[in-house]
Amino acid sequence: MALLNILRYPDPRLHKVASPVTEFNARLETLVADMAETMYDAPGVGLAATQVDVHEQVIVIDTTETHDGLLVFINPEITWSSPEKQVYDEGCLSVPGIYDGVERPARVKVKAVDQHNKPFEMECDGLLAVCIQHEMDHLMGKVFVEYLSPLKRNRIKTKLQKEERALQNSGPRAAGRR
């Protein structure tokens, strides 16, 4: 297993639309394992393949406190959304340190297959419902900050670009000068 690099907003690769998975093989098993390890290490509760620059419809989620409830959604599809909405403070591994309220359906039914191509369907509510919708947005090339006002989105983009420049300027050369 290996830790994967998580793309940071506003990286344009986060806006690529993911393709359906058609081959269920050892490469996919490795991708799922690496994504899970990356998500747990970050730490986060969900990760879409788009966030690690793999543009295939693969999502890993674990909303348990004990990190023993890994769910794998491949080629997920929301088949039903509740009319009731909820606002949940969302964060994102691709938008580190930023949290804001996003309104989404309170409950959803999702149909997918696991990494062994075994189909399943489940109804999700609470954090799991938010998480599956958030990660499915990534597969469609959408980042949660796009639900926010243009002013907030631009402030976040500027802040993250400034942090990225600071990180690049404190790279190996800068570290050697200390």
User: Which position among 84, 135, 146, 164 bears the catalytic label?
Assistant: 135
29 is an active site residue: no
The response to whether 92 counts as a known ligand-binding position is yes
Distance separating alpha carbons of residues 102 and 60, to the nearest angstrom: 21
Distance separating alpha carbons of residues 77 and 122, to the nearest angstrom: 11
Distance separating alpha carbons of residues 111 and 78, to the nearest angstrom: 6
Distance separating alpha carbons of residues 51 and 58, to the nearest angstrom: 10
Main-chain phi, psi angles of 166, to 5 degrees: -65, -40
Enzyme catalytic residues: 135
Instruction: Please enumerate, by residue number, every residue annotated as part of a binding site.
Output: 92, 134, 138
Annotated binding site for Fe cation, which residues? 92, 134, 138
